[in-house]
Amino acid sequence: MKPSTPKGTRDFSPTEMVRRNFIFKTIREVFEKYGYQPIETPAMENLETLTGKYGDEGDKLIFKILDSGEYFESVRKDLKEDLQSKKTSLLNLEDENFNKQTLQEQWECIEKIITDIKTQDVTKHISEKALRYDLTVPFARYVVQHQNEITFPFKRYQIQPVWRADRPQRGRYREFYQCDADVIGSDSLLNEVELIQIINDVYTKLGISVTIKINNRKILQGIADFFKIKDFSEFVTILDKADKMGAEFVRKELISQNILPLPEAGMFSTLFFESPQKELKAAIDQNKLNLLKVWNEDANSEIGKKGVEEIEFIFSQLSNIQYPTSNIQLDISLARGLNYYTGAIFEVKANDLQMGSICGGGRYDDLTGIFGLPNISGVGISFGIDRIFDVMNELNLFDSIGLTASITKVMLAHFGEAERTYCIGVASQLRVSGINTEVYPDITKKISKQFGYANKKQIPFVIVIGGDEMKTGELTLKNMISGEQIKMKVDLIISKLI
Amino acid sequence: MKPSTPKGTRDFSPTEMVRRNFIFKTIREVFEKYGYQPIETPAMENLETLTGKYGDEGDKLIFKILDSGEYFESVRKDLKEDLQSKKTSLLNLEDENFNKQTLQEQWECIEKIITDIKTQDVTKHISEKALRYDLTVPFARYVVQHQNEITFPFKRYQIQPVWRADRPQRGRYREFYQCDADVIGSDSLLNEVELIQIINDVYTKLGISVTIKINNRKILQGIADFFKIKDFSEFVTILDKADKMGAEFVRKELISQNILPLPEAGMFSTLFFESPQKELKAAIDQNKLNLLKVWNEDANSEIGKKGVEEIEFIFSQLSNIQYPTSNIQLDISLARGLNYYTGAIFEVKANDLQMGSICGGGRYDDLTGIFGLPNISGVGISFGIDRIFDVMNELNLFDSIGLTASITKVMLAHFGEAERTYCIGVASQLRVSGINTEVYPDITKKISKQFGYANKKQIPFVIVIGGDEMKTGELTLKNMISGEQIKMKVDLIISKLI
């Protein structure tokens, strides 16, 4: 039986690793360019740190870890005592007093005990740790735990895998990486501006043309005020479906759920779902903004006014970005699912490919409150590595940015033992000069086998060492793509390959 | 209650991350210089992939993951049927036939069922996945699973965390990183030579002076042949304790376990435990080698002769290394605990600090056989990141190689909103030139607060923007370490900081 990885998990081959590492490196460098610092948290968190933070559905998807050692020791001890007493009372029944009724009752007690240890209740006793489900909750835990060592505002990034017991399907895995940047302890809108710059810089460097959609929960609140919507959270939940289900679905849903009366729904739809101008490039759609202002004035919504102010400030500051390549636009239909957002929200889509969002984020007012440190505002974004990888793959971007599959620059081939020994010296010189070099390890007269190896590994250059080369020091460098061959001394080869 | 990480696990702060990342980057770059390619495997493996690979003790230290969903569903179903039948038979007992004997028997059946679900047997039903315990077994699984996609010889490196349910203590964690490089599908000794070069290069770059100890299991077999030692595996196990328990302990143990008769033990000790020459620098101790040769001849040990040949070849090839800085020596007392080694074995110690081994490895003849791909020889090494970190910390090497705590090069401070807006433009210019730049996010007249932030984060340069600076474009760059201040245009600042 061939071994395999667990359902929903993957191995990454060298070629995939080169590509994924390129994406990670790009994101990491941009984060650091803006002063974000790396942290790492353990794969395991205490169960109580994670449960209750992701809703009932989320809780079910947390991977729990069995306690090590005698898993059932404590359970066993409790039950042993319980059972012992039941047994005693059963066996002590006087024969004459025995009847099925008593046996039935005793039996039910025993069944209850068995049920207890069979059902999930027992997991309380056998699992006190779980794998992290996202990077946000561990980050909140980190901030509270280390609050006295941290310099606030704290700008951190974190690139680590997370685990979810989701049903695996195309593009959805049980283990996947998240790439998060958050700043916590500052309510300055400059952070929002810089996060948008970061998104723009990352996708520019990766060569992916994107649209960055921006909205603000406060603007949505203003709209809710104007339309006298009572259940704001339900309103946001329905709006959040626009992307997947379409504008018409949302309009109908708002009506059928009695959130918007029929005539008002039309007015609302016009504002929300008219196609945004494609070529805005970090300029705001003034018409929409003006309509929002009228509504906020009309409903006297302070929070709505604040939202419009914030969005105007962000766009005004964005005009200072050098070389923005992304399309940055206000999208009033953007809602974002998570309910802890309270201010600006972001979502990014690739322009040249139909694909879900490849980055998202927003501002939250109280993330660390759950761990006892209330009222610390923060804002953050998260990049979806797997989707970015898929986009780049499907658009052939890895090739067009010239990312080679091989990390090795040159391989040394040889005709025998003496030649291989000579190779070690040459390889050492190349490596000292910073050139990634392989010596074909096995001794074989079959030079074609060695070339086959280089070809399969897509190594771009090969040097063949034979008796002549050892005598003269003139080595033949073969370009494996063009087939071109040049004879020269090792110093010249080095200066050519560097 | 303050939140915390699970026992034996750690958070890594930005300062620790900068240092750890430096170590990882150094190792990764050296691996790649020798043609090793990265792979990654999932944190979870199927339980059957891991169990039985690490011995009974190891198996107990594997962290198991609870199956998601209805953990006990299948167990519950089986037991329900079982219990139902017991209950029926109990209740169907004719009153007149009832006696304590029967009840006792029935009771024992019930108890057995309960015991089954209470004991670890139940984990078979509730856990089919576990966290990886090392990188070697997942690598073997990877090679077998992907054998048709792999170009052999396959040189791979892998840097990922592993998890062990060990009792945590100083320097021993339940989550820690391993850094492995292996080549599989080649029995060429060139691989051993290159792995020694890799070890030398890594520690040279990290600034750690080390001794690389080399031995060969075949040499140990030759010695076993000469002394007519029957239980080779026991012999190796006892030798392996030399490092921790000392030479005298091993000598006594070999005698008391009847592995070496008393007079021979003395002869043996002389060879094994005389202090190795400190300044060998990749030269072999000829006296020891000659004695080994005599013994091999005497015992007519073919395997012993092979071992000596191999070690001579490795040292002869090592003379081709440019700039070896490590002390590389044959250490016949080196045994290595793992029983899958069959050829060369390595272990590395820091010269300037008492600490366990900081790198180890060796050749194995059949790692993938357990997964159905037999007789593929390989050789590999593994770096211990936590110990390397500790060595560098205690020897102050991070400081002496000039690794700064701050990733940010310069922070922009400002006196108000207009100034902060001006900062965004300046920051953008600096970042485009590759300089990691922060703008202090919040608006505050208190410039000392902004300097305090820069100081705490150990940011080396600060630029203060006020009204004058905005007018003239002449900015003041302050060196936070020397206190020096220079006024200049942004272009000059860039060329100074790059």
* CA distances in angstroms from B48 to A131, B142, B157, listed in the order given: 20, 14, 24
Strands A475-479 and A485-488: antiparallel
Q: How far is CA B125 from CA A130, A256, B42, B66, B133, in A?
A: 19, 46, 22, 9, 21
Alpha carbons B100 and B112: distance in angstroms, whole number: 18
DSSP A276: P
- By the 8 A CB rule, do B252 and B269 touch? no
| Positions in chain A short of pLDDT 70 | 1, 68-107, 109-125, 270-271, 273-283, 322-323
From B78, which residue of chain A is nearest by alpha-carbon distance? A118
Coil vs helix vs strand at B50:
helix
Tell me the β-bridge partners of A176. A162
Interacting residues of A133 by C-beta distance below 8 A, sequence separation 6+:
A50, A53, A54, A58, A61, A62, A162, A163, A164
Alpha helical stretches, state H, A283-326:
286-299, 302-318
Q: Using the beta-carbon criterion (under 8 Å), do A320 and B424 form an inter-chain contact?
A: yes
Q: Tell me, what amino acid is at A373?
A: L
Query: Which residue stretches of chain B have pLDDT < 70?
Result: 1, 68-107, 109-125, 270-271, 273-283, 322-323
Torsion angle defined by CA atoms of residues B213, B217, B223 and B224, in that order, rounded to the nearest 10 degrees:
140
Q: What is the C-alpha to C-alpha distance for residues A250 and A268, in angstroms, rounded to an integer?
A: 11
Q: How is residue A346 written in tokens?
A: 């972001």
- Among residues B378, B33, B36, B188, the alpha carbon closest in space to that of A457 is found at B36
Q: Does the structure's ipTM exceed the value 0.95? A: no
User: CA-CA distance, A443 to B113, in Å (whole number)?
Assistant: 62
Contacts of B317 in chain A (CB under 8 A): 421, 424
Q: How many CB atoms within 10 Å of residue B74?
A: 12
E runs forming strands in A290-430 = 327-330, 341-350, 359-364, 378-384, 410-414
**Distance from A245 to chain B by nearest Cα, in Å?**
28
Angstrom distance (rounded) from CA A404 to CA A359: 26
| Residue A349, phi then psi, degrees to nearest 5 | -125, 145
Residue in chain B nearest A61 by alpha carbon: B68
A/B interface, count of CB pairs below 8 Å: 331
Predicted local confidence at residue A120, as pLDDT:
41
Strands A154-163 and A37-38: parallel
Q: If you search the block for the tokens 């300029």, which residue do you land on? A: A283
Q: At what angle do helices B73-91 and B100-118 cross, to 10 degrees?
A: 180
The answer to whether A149 faces chain B, any CB pair under 8 Å, is yes
What's the angle, vertex CA A171, arms to CA A165 and CA A175, rounded to 5?
40
For an interface test with B, give the residue of A93, A424, A463, A497 to mutate (most B CBs within 10 A).
A424
Q: Cβ neighbours of residue A461 under 8 Å, at least 6 residues apart?
A: A409, A410, A411, A477, A478, A479, A480, A497
A38 neighbors A24 (Cβ within 8 angstroms): no
Q: What is the token pair recorded at A48?
A: 């109580």
A12 DSSP 8-state letter: B
Encoded amino acid at B214, one letter: I
Q: Which residue has the tokens 């009752």?
A: A105
Distance separating alpha carbons of residues B210 and B227, to the nearest angstrom:
33
Amino acid at B429: Q
Pull the structure tokens for residue A167.
Answer: 């049903």
Tokens 């969005």 — which residue? A311
CB contact, 8 Å: B51 with chain A? no
Angle between helices B217-226 and B302-318 (to 10 degrees): 140
Question: pTM of the entire structure?
Answer: 0.88
Shortest Cα–Cα distance, A351 to chain B (Å): 24
With CA atoms as reference, report the closest residue to A14 among B369, B185, B181.
Answer: B181
According to the model, what pLDDT value does residue A434 have? 95
Site of tokens 């946001």: A236
Token pair belonging to A378 = 């923060």
**Helix or strand holding residue A184 (H, E):** strand A175-184
Query: What amino acid occupies position B190?
Result: L
Any B CB within 8 A of A37 CB: yes
Check residue B97 and give its pLDDT. Answer: 54
Question: Which residue matches tokens 């006190």?
Answer: A128
Does residue B104 belong to the interface with chain A, where contact is any CB pair within 8 Å? yes
Which whole-number Å values give the CA distances from A356 to A173, A213, A336, A347, A491, in the listed order?
15, 13, 13, 10, 51
Specify the pLDDT at position B71: 43
- Report the distance separating Cα A77 and Cα A145, nearest Å: 34
- A434 CB neighbours in chain B (<8 A) are 33
User: Is B52 at the interface with chain A, CB within 8 A?
Assistant: no
Of A70, A119, A187, the CB nearest to B72: A119
CB distance B420 to A190 below 8 Å: yes
What are residue A350's DSSP bridge partners? A210
User: Pick from A6, A145, A186: which is nearest to B3 by CB?
Assistant: A145
Specify the DSSP class assigned to residue B463: E
Token pair recorded at residue B126: 């509730």
Quick one: pLDDT at residue A73?
47
Contact status of B22 with chain A (Cβ, < 8 Å): no
Element spanning A91, H or E = helix A73-91
Q: Yes or no: say if B473 and B486 are a contact pair by the CB < 8 Å rule.
A: no
Using the 8-state DSSP alphabet, how is residue A95 labeled?
G
Name the residue among B75, B107, B322 with its Cβ closest to that of A87.
B107
Burial of B294 (C-beta count, 10 Å sphere; 0-12/13-18/19+): exposed
On whether the CB atoms of residues A442 and B186 are closer than 8 A, the answer is: yes
Identify whether the C-beta of residue A43 lies closer than 8 Å to the C-beta of residue A132.
yes
> How high is the pLDDT of residue A194?
96
Compute the distance between CA of residue B372 and CA of residue B370 in angstroms, rounded to an integer: 6
Looking at residue A454, what DSSP letter applies? H
- Do the chains contact at B146 and A13, CB–CB below 8 Å? yes
Strand partners, A346: A214, A361
Residue B118: closest CA among A118, A67, A88, A64: A118
Could you tell me if A184 and A367 are in contact, meaning their C-beta atoms sit under 8 angstroms apart?
Answer: yes
Distance between CA A322 and CA A341 in Å, rounded?
29
CA distance B8 to B68: 25
Query: Any chain A CB within 8 A of the CB of B99?
Result: yes
Nearest residue to B115 via CA among A90, A79, A103: A79
Q: How does pLDDT run across B162-176, given as a tens digit for each residue?
A: 999 988 888 889 999
**pLDDT (0 to 100) of residue B6:** 95
Out of B42, B71, B72, name the one closest to residue A10 (CB). Answer: B42
Q: How many CA within 13 A on the CB side of residue B289?
A: 18
Q: Which amino acid is it at B279?
A: E
- State residue B70's pLDDT score: 47
* Number of Cβ atoms within 10 Å of the Cβ of B136: 23
Name which of B342, B497, B344, B357 is nearest B427 in CA terms. Answer: B497
Chain B nearest-CA residue for A141: B3
The Cα angle at residue A155 between residues A150 and A157, in degrees rounded to 5:
110
B188/chain A closest Cα distance in angstroms: 5
User: Cα separation of B225 and B203, whole Å?
Assistant: 36
